[in-house]
Amino acid sequence: MVEELEKKYGIADRRVLKAMLDIPRHLFVRKHLWAQAYGDHALPIGAEQTISQPFVVARMSEMLRVSPEHTVLEIGTGTGYQTAILAKLARRVYSLERVGELARAAIDRLRSIGIPNVKVQAFDGTVGWSEVAPFARILVTAAAPSAPKPLIEQLRPGGRMVIPEGSREEQRLVSYRKLRGGGVRREEGEAVAFVPLIGRYGWAS
């Protein structure tokens, strides 16, 4: 899987590739799907959610440009796979998951594989986590019609956010860079397809 990410898709960030080599993806999918865990496709995880394909996880992680001193906010914990990748790259990861059962399972799973620098909470991710803001990096793993205003506000100056934006059916990866004066610079990337970001500043259920 990691060799394909590098050679086929051009993922060049060595820290991202090492993190994806270190984290066993099959432990983050249902047992009957273990044989498919390292294929480059999304898989269902319950509650009408999915675990993203490895390429998308790698690309978003690379676009985020995480350094070891960074504190990261993740919106959409899911099974915790992307969370674990971020935890290998950052100093601390805070992750919000709207579906309580997924959040609880992710906490247990991350604890079982010895990921210590993560805090997961069941909450509406579109409002962010103001108590521990600002964040150096924010990663949103569900599709939004536009970047939620609270997330932009909780990004520190110089910080970066990566989010899929578009319709419910198709989106593009978008990178936001918060400028020192408080404005943002927006850059569009490749086409993707994510489940919708449900919440106060996202899509209605």
Tell me the catalytic residues.
52
* CA end-to-end distance (rounded Å), the chain: 34
Q: Whose CA is closest to 148, among 135, 161, 167?
A: 161
Identify the burial level of 133 via C-beta atoms within 10 angstroms of its C-beta, where 0-12 means exposed, 13-18 middle and 19 or more buried. middle
Residue 62 CA to residue 34 CA, distance in Å, equals 25
Question: CA-based diameter of the chain, in Å?
Answer: 50
**For residue 142, which of 97, 190, 106 has the smallest C-alpha distance?**
97
Alpha helix ranges (H) inside the chain: 2-7, 14-22, 54-64, 81-89, 100-112, 149-153
Contact 178, 160 (CB under 8 A): yes
Contact status, residue 74 vs residue 96, Cβ threshold 8 Å: yes
